[in-house]
Amino acid sequence: MALAVAAVTCTAAGMTTATTQAATTRPTAVGTVAYDLGDSAFRPPAKIGYEGANELAGTVYYPRDLEHGRHPLIVIEHGSWQTCADRKATDANAAAQRALEEAQRKGDTAEEERQEKILEKTGALIWRWPCAGRTPPLPSLNGYAYLGRKLAERGFVIVSIGTNGINATAEGQADTVYYARAALINAHLAMWQRLSSSGTGPLRGKFTDPRTHRPRDVGFAGHVDLSNVGTIGHSMGGGGVMQQVADQRRSEWPTGVTVRAAFALAPTDNWNEEIVTKVPFAVMWGTCDQVNTGHYFEDSAGHNRAPIYRYTLAGGNHDNYNTEWSPSGGQVGSKDDALPGTRPGTCRTQFPDGPQTDDRELTETRQRAITTTYVLAFFQRHLHGRKDFDAILTGRRHPKDVTPQYEVAHAS
């Protein structure tokens, strides 16, 4: 096996060409349903040693013409974010954080202690699970609808799963939280495998309309292919999907399930030395992303027996991948997490090795358009087997105004 290398950095302009190239078949109409089996329906296996419970909830995007064949399933796992949409507590928490930093600057220890107590009180409200009283849960799982719909148009069944319970209990459990996230993915896959193969299991009769919450009967049985599964993870969810496809975790996949591709969006480092050599994967990162995204590509390159890719978005940041986290969505706690540059419209780069400079910041719309282009190409290649996307994935052909700078590697 040879390892070929091309170079690509994605910039803000010129996504129309690649999007058109990635959409070579006519899109189909898309339906949406949801399911929720309870806030504490999932507990990680005892052997993991993770303390805490999680919801078994998902938002599903699917082609309405389900009866035409069997469709690959793609699971999306979101990252770590506050769990409860308590605006009052969120605003108070942010104000206390600013006041704490000011007190630290002045050396005012009494004020530091006061603000720390406020942070503890408000943090307990916005990071608890289940949420208190009538406070709604923050629906991070719905922040990838733009991806879910586009993929469903191309014949995939997409389920974006909730991880609020894990987010609420992750503090102090960094050594096991990614195992718990991988196990949660497997739990959903096991339910889908049973539903598709026999029409039975926990998901039977549990689908509802996301807007009216009325029951919906969708004919998934016999039409979802669990031998042809993909995963997408963002932030800590990215670390979770990389853990789930690691060579040493493949034996934990549910019976009848085969994961054939994984795409990690700004994945956090999961602090494990397990590498991925057998499953094609892609890693995407933005130059203004402050999160430690680990070395998945570097650690696996040279050992991989399947294609792997790395994409760098010039001016991209961490929160733009999720519409519930980024400013335009108006959700509680949403923000632009890039550090402002020295000039309007720019952000400070966050390269692990090298000085900070200015990059023109990608808008939310542009970053999500770029992401959609490569995610669509990746899964149509590795789940649908369409080799006409190889040139885009490897950087031999790319959108207009893409500046060569960073590596995209692939096995040949």
- Helix 177-198 to helix 236-245 angle, to the nearest 10 degrees? 70
Buried b (16+ CB within 10 A) or exposed e, 41-77: ebbbeeebebebbbbbbbbbbbbeebeeebbbbbbbb
Looking at the domain assignment, is residue 400 inside a domain?
A: yes
Q: Is 132 among the domain residues?
A: no
Low-confidence stretches of the chain (pLDDT < 70) are 1-25, 399-412
Question: Which domain-ending residue is among 62, 95, 126?
Answer: 126
Model pLDDT, residue 13: 37
Residue 7's DSSP bridge partners are 407
Task: Tell me which of 71, 98, 126 is where a domain ends.
Answer: 126
Same domain membership, residue 388 and residue 292: yes
Any domain includes 351: yes
How many Cβ atoms sit within 10 Å of the Cβ of residue 366? 20
Picking from 317, 318, 311, the residue whose alpha carbon sits closest to that of residue 406 is: 311
User: Is residue 263 included in any domain, yes or no?
Assistant: yes
Look at residue 407 and tell me if it is in a domain.
Answer: yes
Shared domain for 30 and 79, answered yes or no, is yes
Residue 252 shares a structural domain with residue 270: yes
Omega within 30 of 0 (cis) for the link into 130: yes
Q: Does one domain contain both 247 and 103?
A: no
Q: Are residues 283 and 332 in the same domain?
A: yes
Tokens of 50: 């993770």
> Does one domain contain both 115 and 167?
no
User: Per the domain annotation, does 131 fall within a domain?
Assistant: no
Domain total of the chain: 2
43 & 96 share domain: no
Q: Which of 104, 126, 148 is the last residue of a domain?
A: 126
What local confidence, expressed as pLDDT, does residue 333 receive?
A: 96
Instruction: Identify whether residues 121 and 253 lie together within a single domain.
Output: no
Length of the chain: 412
On whether residue 329 sits in a domain, the answer given is yes
| Pair (116, 146) in one structural domain | no
**Same domain assignment for residues 72 and 219:** yes
Q: Are residues 160 and 220 in the same domain?
A: yes
Host domain of residue 235 = 3-84+139-411
Quick one: 278 exposed, middle or buried, by C-beta within 10 A (0-12, 13-18, 19+)?
Answer: middle
| pLDDT (0 to 100) of residue 6 | 40
Give domain status of residue 275, yes or no: yes
Same domain, 197 and 58: yes
pLDDT of residue 136: 97
CATH code of the domain covering residue 179: 3.40.50.1820
pLDDT of residue 7: 39
